[in-house]
Chains A and B, each alone.
Chain A
Amino acid sequence: MDLQWMAWTTPTALFFIGIAIMLAGMTVWEVVSPTAEAKGFLPMRTTRGDRLFIGLLGSAFIHLGWLAATTVSLWGALAVSLVWTAFVIRFG
């Protein structure tokens, strides 16, 4: 099948490969040591997967906010997002 209509670019391909690796990694981690629901600073009990999702969704909005507010390089938003995601996964 011809994939030209999807108009792939290197950055977006890397982005999706990254997501795929993350999902695969979470699955392996889950098989090796099953998660337990825990209560952190978030208002409800969450599993590891929930916290990763919240981290990623938050990161998307951090990037959008960064684009809207500043003209500084987007790498800054990426750094903030990584800190945020790590924080949510560890303490959420």
Chain B
Amino acid sequence: MSKAATASAAHALAPGALASPANIRRSSSRVSGKTVILIGYIVFLMLPIYWMVNMSFKTNEEILSGLTLYPHAPTLRNYVIIFTDPSWYSGYINSIYYVTLNTIISLTAALPAAYAFSRYRFIGDKHVFFWLLTNKMAPPAVFLLPFFQLYQTVGLFDTHIAVALAHCLFNVPLAVWILEGFMSGVPREIDEMAYIDGYSFPRFFTTVFMPMIRAGIGVTAFFCFMFSWVELLLARTLTSVDAKPIAATMTRTVSASGMDWGLLAAAGVLTILPGALVIWFVRNYIAKGFALGRV
């Protein structure tokens, strides 16, 4: 087992452990042009977000009466409305519910499949793998109509499981792809030693193998969360009332009640928070994760 522990330690250390080009350049002890570009880019990223946050604390009178760089009469009115009106906050609960459901389904199905792809050759393996990937690349708009009909026929329309299953269309292939990358980084010898030690496959997989690729599992969960959380087209098509995601609540309320900019901004800010929280947890694995385990 010590071998396994070393391997997993090396795996966990990989991102960020090595000296980067930036470290070496910094020895010339002046601010390089590239750092300026990076800072400029971060400012460019943050300005629109700041503007929305800023607006969410303003009253509509202040928003419409002219530009102010910060709220002169800060108010929590917009947030109070969201947290007290069920049609608003149930949107958040619905979104979090189906996103969680989707992440669990995707991971459970993808783990054994990714193991199969990373360890065995079998009939049609490469073609099945490519077929899975094409679903990640298929435009969701193509599936709009049949999904609507399909879920209505099987009686799942407007349920959380319907959205979770529909998002599996792109999340399961993605999960298989990422996990396969991470699993291929674990040497085969570990599997063989465990089998010699008398582990059965399910026991080996859950007690030895899964802990070794936990960084990969975390990154995969992050990606499933992310893609399910940001998707709107399918989620909106497959729901009407009971499972309506927050993103859909936003578009509909805006068109119905004229333009309540402050409320819209507050709802937008609240959709960013879960994502920001999740990023913070996986920050050390982000870089490797975005390379889908293939660096």
Contact = CB atoms under 8 A, between A and B. Distances in A.
Contacts of B152: 5
Nearest to B149: A5
B130 to A, nearest CB: 8
Nearest to A23: B124
Nearest to A26: B124
Interface string B113-150: 00000000001101100000000000000000010011
A48 to B, nearest CB: 11
Contact of A49 (B127, B146, B150): B127
Nearest to A2: B153
Contact of B127 (A1, A5, A6, A53): A53
Q: Please report whether the interface of chain B is mostly helix, strand, loop or mixed according to DSSP.
A: helix
Interface residues of A, number: 11
A55 to B, nearest CB: 14
Contacts of A27: 123-124
A5 B123 contact: no
Interface string A34-67: 0000000000000101100100000000000000
B150 A31 contact: no
B154 interface: yes
A5 B150 contact: yes
Contacts of A5: 149-150, 152-153
Interface in A1-44: 1-2, 5-6, 27, 30-31
Contacts of A47: 126
B123 to A, nearest CB: 5
A31 B123 contact: yes
A50 B123 CA distance: 13
Contacts of A1: 153-154
Contacts of A49: 124, 126-127
Nearest to A7: B149
Nearest to B154: A1
B100 to A, nearest CB: 28
Nearest to B150: A5
B153 A30 contact: no
A30 B124 CA distance: 9
Contacts of B149: 5-6
Contacts of A50: 126-127
Contacts of A30: 123-124
Contacts of A2: 153
Interface of A: 1-2, 5-6, 27, 30-31, 47, 49-50, 53
Given A5-B149, A5-B150, 6 more contacts: A27-B123, A30-B123, A30-B124, A31-B123, A49-B126, A49-B127
A-B pairs with the 6 shortest C-beta distances?
Answer: A5-B149, A5-B153, A30-B123, A49-B127, A2-B153, A27-B123
